[in-house]
Structure 1
Amino acid sequence: MLSSERMRSKLSKDDKKLLKKQAKAKLILLKHEGIETVSYPSKSIVIANGGLGNGVSREQLLSVLQGCGTVETLLMPRNKPYAFVTYMTAEEAIKAYSTLSGREISADDSELGIILYLSFVEKVEMKETLSPALPPGLMVFEDFVSPEQEITMIENIAWDSELSSQKSLKHRRVKHYGYEFRYDNNNVDKDAPLPGGLPDFCNEVLEKCLQQELIKHRPDQLTINQYEPGQGIPPHVDTHSAFEDEILSVSLGAEIVMDFRHPDGSVVPVMVPRRSLLIMGGESRYLWTHGITPRKFDVVQASEPQAVGTVSDNIDKLTLSKRNTRTSFTFRKIRHTPCDCAFPTLCDSQQMQQKNHPPQIGEVGASILEKEYVHKVYEDIAGHFSSTRHTPWPKVVDFLLSLPKGSMVADVGCGNGKYLGINKDLYMIGCDRSKNLVDICREKKFEAFVCDALSVPFRTGTFDACISIAVIHHFATEERRHAALQELLRLLRQGGKALIYVWAMEQEYKSSKSKYLKERQCSKDLGKVEGINGNANASLPVHTNRTSFHSQDLFVPWHLKPKNLSKFEKTLAHMDQKSINQGPGPVYHRFYHVFCEGELEAMCSQPNISVLHSYHDQGNWCVILQKS
């Protein structure tokens, strides 16, 4: 075996130049992933830009690597833009390093090639992990539908039927039978059945379910969705009060990976094969969210047949599977009595009975909630809030510094304006719903004005870029959050870019840098706050600081602390010296909708948007998008 000195001496001058050229990639890996590269040859190499996360499949990479020698192991971590290869000998690794560094290969999710950057590593830790167990109550049956049945069911969908007034979703084809599923309240109108009931071409599948005693109730509601490659659906739990326990999903046309998420943050990616039947019951139906991340490829096991109902986390055997058009048949049984499941804190029926939750918040209720628990709160805490918001987040700064000189940039929801003066080569203007926060911006000599993020008074296509940092999560309904996104797009010129940050439900698990979860104070007032329209009962749970989120819609307490404020900030916070001497200030509650993984990307999945980058930062889900 060669010593380190002898192996180092075998490197040519060109090899040494390549080491310098790859210094930048090496530093990025060190900074973000903690990968330690070495300056001398070894048997193991890290391949930057050559991972599952940027569209390189195991088969593609292996075919390139084997041209340089015998590959002992190839490790491709899930969703990462790099891979590790270990050769049988150091000489083979040196050959790969010399031959493949800077080489361009094709990527499955891009029309353009990508360039590989190779660096030596001392060793690669091979951590085998067991396949995650399916959520309790979840069952997957492979080949439940025959190929002939599949053709019959797909061909008989009456996509253009005018038998009802149902509306299709904007970004995917959808059809309802039995009862129309309403996406505005995630429920059905039980007093308004659709004519005709369920179609006859589904009878064979339903009879098979009943004969095999897989279900207790014959479904009377069907939603058919057709997903094109790249489309998904946000994580959700089907409304408890709307449907009975078992929910059936038949997948036709293509396989898919469906993500199931427990409230504690753990995720189980479940492989749902083509022509399979998936049944959600019990805990998997009532407690776990399920969703489909919008992407064109899924990560699946490569070296052996995929186990039905699960995706292996054995990371050295993963590859990419290209998505195709998938048609899902979701069968449900309408519930006519209140739900009495074993998860009362998540059950709308039981929460209603306990008077802890008012009826569904409609559009009027949402605007009132935002006025009381967003607009009014920020107006009252503006001074204290501004005193805690002085350090710009690095990745937001990077985005602003990357924009061309002279760009017009709108900061929609600018707060105290901490990003308005970052790049002096940009013309930035901010707007915020809080007059007091805008006054703070003006005190700093920034351009800012008062307006609502749903209606920004600028002409369409005015800006080269927009940023929306920690704003959209304050809107109380999906429709209003979508409207806020559309307003950002309206402001952008064609080709313009936007950066969006929203609070992440998974912030505790994805980032140890989350400022919110590092706050030292702990709220002890969990329970009731003054509700909508003066209702004494809390309409939403109050979150306890430094704990996991257990609900996507919730109140977050703000403990007003008047100490260390400037005279101007004290004025905005309505504080005088007497109130300061009296100790801690009052507690305010802000409304938040915390986003699950994939939810922000799903919201941005539309024809006029290209998502250039999505990531997790500072306890937020973030996207950089471009208007096409």
Structure 2
Amino acid sequence: FKADKERPVGAVITGGKLIKKSKKSLEQLKRHDPDVEVASEPTKNLFVANSSVLCSVSPEELQEIFSPFDSSVELIVFPNRRAYSFVEFSTVEAASRAKEELNGKVPEQLRKSHLPFVIEFVNNLPLSKTADAVAGPRDLQIVDDFVDEGIERDLIDLVMKDPRLDEMKHRSVLHFGHAFDYSTNSAFVPIEKIPDQLEKIVDRLIERGFIKERPDQITANVYSPGQGIPSHFDTHSAFEDPVVSLSLLADVVMEFKDAANSARIAPILLPRRSLCLIQGDSRYRWKHGIVNRQYDVCPRTNRLLQRQQRVSITFRKIRNEPCRCDYKEFCDWDRNGEMAVPSVSSAARALECNYVADVYEKIAPHFDETRHAVWTGVKRFLDSIPPGSLLYDIGCGNGKYLLPERNDGLIKIGADRCLGLCEIAASKGCFVVRGDALGAPLRAGADAVISIAVLHHMSTLERRRKAIEEIASLLRVGGRACVTVWSLEQGESEYAKMRENREEKEKKEGKEEEENREDKDRLLVHDGREFVQQDLLVPWTVSGKESRKKREEEGEKEEETFLRFYHVFAEGELAELMQLVEGLRLESVELEQGNYVAVFERIR
């Protein structure tokens, strides 16, 4: 999709130009969906190029464009994966009228410049995917047709006729057993007893082995067409595992978002009268929610589903003991401060061992695949060092600044705590030793020292001060050092642009912002949006060629995600840190692509 080829609304292309574009579009079709056969005669099915979400055409706009030709038209769309869609009409005549009217044209319903639609008849539609092919969280279970129409009707009457049904901002709610407190996302106050109709559902859940204990908090949600619920966890400390939800009246697509990898979002179809068991991984690590929108794209078939009124009934068992789940990074239970921001040295060492040192040992090969670019500020510093100078790289990683092929005339030695990265750097011909940033086994007297993206892994102010002190001790008087850290202010960085693009996309799709999660006393997992606090755990997802090969060999489908500790620096904080170490003169602190680059000199 090329935006520079856009044309104004109502523009039309014909003749050879249209034939040429049709040929290119059909080449895309053959590459992505080879099972689809182009027709030589008119059919009920249309292939429509330049009509997908990838081309900034929403499902609602597609429906508006094609429904005038056939009120029962069905759409097959591919969110973010294809530049085309398919349209299925009830008659050949309706399909022919649509092609005649829209082929080579920028539809007026788009209301802005766009690439013209390129349309061809096809004999068949793409093969439907099965539910198993949709990537989703482990342990999530969908049970189709858990209740029949009669039971569904009785449950709907129970909910809709209850005078306690309370209208909220985006849905109406009704509670049984215990009231749900939305300010704390918990339930402690007993209310109306659970009615017999719901007790019978509980009996069935136990009989079929889906739950072991009887739920004591049940919530019914009534959604009007287009309404949803923000992405959220069912609070770990408030409820046991599993959380069970029954969907009534209509299908809907629920999005599950991996809290350890915000880019990983799995759309899951909840069919009418189905049961959804949110348990294990899907309960404790994945958030779930329903986007506010008029249409869903069915992840099983890619067909467009128009939202209708829907009722969900969620069954929960109140937790009466501390949560001991295996997902402590996402758990709200305090666990005696296990996930607190460290304040003493012993806790800091343990944290950095678990969430820095051990992680880099596990991700070393993938880290090496992704770390080749040289920061402009660092290059400028290196270029300022006279040939023949002795340079130390503290936290050298894969050795990208030590490579022999960088003919800079420097004597370069690196140190890193990670054995895997030391071995990788050594394999490239770099001189490296294994050592910690707080005690590198190197002789003092270096002309220059660099420490790139290391200091922000120190979890207390005292340890960050000691790291600067260690760098200073390695320098000769008059020697200079360059240190970089992540910044709290991302400014115009590529990361910030990526985040803004995603947030703009989510806004367009009707997704609500999640609650502000700031908790300065506790380590939170960064969700890929703006930093909400300075001390946090940042996901690293192992992907790429080598990791894919390894997953295939081991039969794994999921990308593995690890969490690394970061202290992101506020404006002025790095300069203040330098002032805590005697004998240094700060030359400069610059912001580059969301990183602070500091240069200082040892003056005594």
* TM-score range normalised by the length of the shorter chain: 0.3 to 0.5
Structure number with greater Rg is 2
State the TM-score, normalized to the length of structure 1: 0.45
State the TM-score, normalized to the length of structure 2: 0.47
